[in-house]
Amino acid sequence: MDIPRSKPNQTTRRVRLALFTLAASAAVVLLVLGLSNLKPAAPTVDRSTVWIDTVRRGTLIRQVRGLGTLVPEQISWIPATTEGRVEKIYVRPGARVQPDTVLLVLSNPEVQQTAVDAQLQLKAAEAEYANLQVQLASSVMGQRATLATVQSDYRQAVLQGAANEELASKGLIPRLQAQLSKVKTEELASRQGLEQQRLAIAADAARAQLAVQTSKIEQLRTLVQLRNSRVDSLKVRAGLAGVLQQLPLDIGQRVTPGTNLARVADPRTLKAELKIAETQAKDIQLGQPASVDTHNGTVTGTVARIDPAVQNGTVTVDVRLMGSLPAGARPDLSVDGTIELERLRNVLFVGRPAFGQENQTVGLFKLDAEGTEASRVPVRLGKSSVNTIEVLSGLREGERVILSDMSAQESYNRIRLQ
């Protein structure tokens, strides 16, 4: 027989509905909390596209590198010393020259005319000197003749006075006549002294006048040498044994004083001029060892000069090369130079990251033991070299890190490698 089912009342149904709603809400909340605590899926990176390096311990050689050129240590710029027009060109760039090799000839009629005028003035001054010398010699000779006459008269007066004195003592002539003879003798003695002084003065005056004329001649002779040197400078010579590098002139071109006519360099002694970034040049010191790659061989050297000024973000460093140069080394050849700054012994170091600078803390992806995943770790870097950098903290010897640019994974702390 059928037993009738009792229907729940309205209150019971409401309680059951509320309990069911609470249970569903709790499940949703638990599900949301569980999903929020889950880590995001790690992105996958192709292993062949990243640069992985191993942390090592040993000696870190700090180096800086820069591009540059080979330049001669001995360079001679030949300037124009006078205005002129290019008349002839005997040597072209690339030719070997000696110090007395004539490179080109300038023409300047005015310079040649002034040299001729100076030569004529010198000859006139020399002729005037000869004429003055004859005149002064004649004057001195005349004064000597006058002195000789006075001396002769004086000696005669002495003899005459002695005779008159003897005759007067015997009463043969008056005493007055003897006294007059004595006065005349004294007068001639005085004139003799004066004439001797006049002769000495005349000789001194002659020497002074000749000295003035000699000085004028020397002055003109110097002027002639100067004018002749200007004429000779119209023949432009190399002045240095080497190779003519530049001669930017054409026949008929006019040049002014100070214009650089040619450049001669000695190709046997070259140095390297390296351009080092100003941020890397702070530790460069004179005498540090360096190596220069000429793309046909490597030659060692030392830092010889550091330019105090910065140009276009670089510092010019001169490296004096040691030993023989590789084949093909010539002026203006492009080279790569490396300067050794110091050697840090027993330090941790790794390859230089793409965006890692010295004395900074950067985030690097460190590989796990299997090498399938990498996690970001903070690494404090120390001193840097061209391709390596010191590790102060954050890594241990033997660990592997990714050095490539990982900016695309900036929002992730771990990645997967495949």
Please report, for residues 76, 365, 379, the alpha-carbon distance to residue 358 in angstroms, rounded to integers and kept in the order given: 43, 18, 11
What is the band of 164 on the pLDDT scale with cuts at 50, 70, 90? confident
What's the gap between Cα 265 and its chain centre? 15
3-state SS of 242-256 is EEEEECCCCCCCEEC
In a shared domain, residues 273 and 411: yes
The answer to whether residue 279 scores a pLDDT higher than 80 is yes
pLDDT for 84: 92
In a shared domain, residues 102 and 240: yes
- CB neighbour list of residue 253: distance below 8 Å, 6 or more residues apart: 85, 86
> CB burial class (10 A; 0-12, 13-18, 19+) of residue 145?
exposed
In a shared domain, residues 96 and 241: yes
Q: Which of 2, 67, 108 is nearest to 273 (CA)?
A: 67
For the segment 367-396, the average pLDDT, to the nearest whole number, is 90
The answer to whether residue 184 scores a pLDDT higher than 90 is no
pLDDT for 190: 81
In a shared domain, residues 296 and 404: yes
Residue 190 included in any domain: yes
Phi and psi, residue 95, nearest 5°: -85, 145
Q: Write the CATH number for 303.
A: 2.40.30.170
Q: Give the CA-trace dihedral at 391, 395, 399, 402, to 10 degrees.
A: -70
In a shared domain, residues 248 and 292: no
pLDDT tens-digit map of 313-361: 999 999 999 888 888 888 889 999 999 999 999 999 999 898 878 889 9
What is the band of 149 on the pLDDT scale with cuts at 50, 70, 90? confident
- Beta bridge partners of residue 367, listed in sequence order: 374
CB atoms within 10 A of CB 142: 12
What is the band of 44 on the pLDDT scale with cuts at 50, 70, 90? confident
pLDDT tens-digit map of 299-315: 999 999 999 999 999 99
The answer to whether residue 372 scores a pLDDT higher than 90 is no
What is the band of 228 on the pLDDT scale with cuts at 50, 70, 90? very high
Q: Write the CATH number for 258.
A: 2.40.50.100
In a shared domain, residues 101 and 136: no
Of the three residues 265, 287, 322, the one that is the final residue of a domain is 265
The answer to whether residue 257 scores a pLDDT higher than 80 is yes
Q: Which of 103, 113, 115, 114 is nearest to 251 (CA)?
A: 103
Residue 395 included in any domain: yes
Q: Which of 62, 68, 71 is nearest to 337 (CA)?
A: 68
Residue 334 belongs to what H/E stretch? Answer: strand 334-351
In a shared domain, residues 279 and 396: yes
In a shared domain, residues 244 and 96: yes
The answer to whether residue 7 scores a pLDDT higher than 70 is no
> CB burial class (10 A; 0-12, 13-18, 19+) of residue 23?
exposed
pLDDT for 1: 45
In the chain, the amino acid numbered 16 is R
**pTM reported for the whole predicted model:** 0.59
DSSP string covering 151-180: HHHHHHHHHHHHHHHHHHHTTSS-HHHHHH
Residue 40 included in any domain: no
The answer to whether residue 22 scores a pLDDT higher than 90 is no
Q: How far apart are CA 391 and CA 223, in angstroms?
A: 74
Q: Which of 417, 371, 369, 360 is nearest to 394 (CA)?
A: 360
Of the three residues 247, 265, 283, the one that is the final residue of a domain is 265
What is the band of 99 on the pLDDT scale with cuts at 50, 70, 90? very high
Residue 372 included in any domain: yes
In the chain, the amino acid numbered 28 is V
What are the strands of the beta sheet with 102-107, ordered from one edge? 235-237, 102-107, 84-89, 254-255
In a shared domain, residues 292 and 411: yes
CB atoms within 10 A of CB 33: 9
In a shared domain, residues 100 and 243: yes
Please report, for residues 13, 81, 105, 217, 315, the alpha-carbon distance to residue 233 in angstroms, rounded to integers and kept in the order given: 125, 7, 9, 24, 38
In a shared domain, residues 323 and 412: yes
Share above pLDDT 90 across residues of the chain, in percent, rounded to a whole number: 46
The answer to whether residue 35 scores a pLDDT higher than 80 is no
pLDDT tens-digit map of 201-211: 888 888 888 89
DSSP string covering 389-407: EEEEES--TT-EEE-S--G
For the segment 87-113, the average pLDDT, to the nearest whole number, is 92
Number of domains in the chain: 3
pLDDT for 32: 59
Cα three-residue angle 322-325-327, rounded to 5 degrees? 170
Of residues 214 and 191, which shows the higher confidence score? 214
For the segment 257-279, the average pLDDT, to the nearest whole number, is 90
> CB burial class (10 A; 0-12, 13-18, 19+) of residue 396?
exposed
The answer to whether residue 4 scores a pLDDT higher than 80 is no
Of the three residues 249, 265, 281, the one that is the final residue of a domain is 265
Residue 5 included in any domain: no
Residue 348 included in any domain: yes
> CB burial class (10 A; 0-12, 13-18, 19+) of residue 389?
buried
| Domain boundaries, position 95 | 80-107+235-265
Residue 39 included in any domain: no
Q: Report residue 309 as tokens.
A: 């000024």
Residue 35 included in any domain: no
In a shared domain, residues 257 and 274: no
Phi and psi, residue 55, nearest 5°: -70, 130
Q: Report residue 276 as tokens.
A: 């080092």
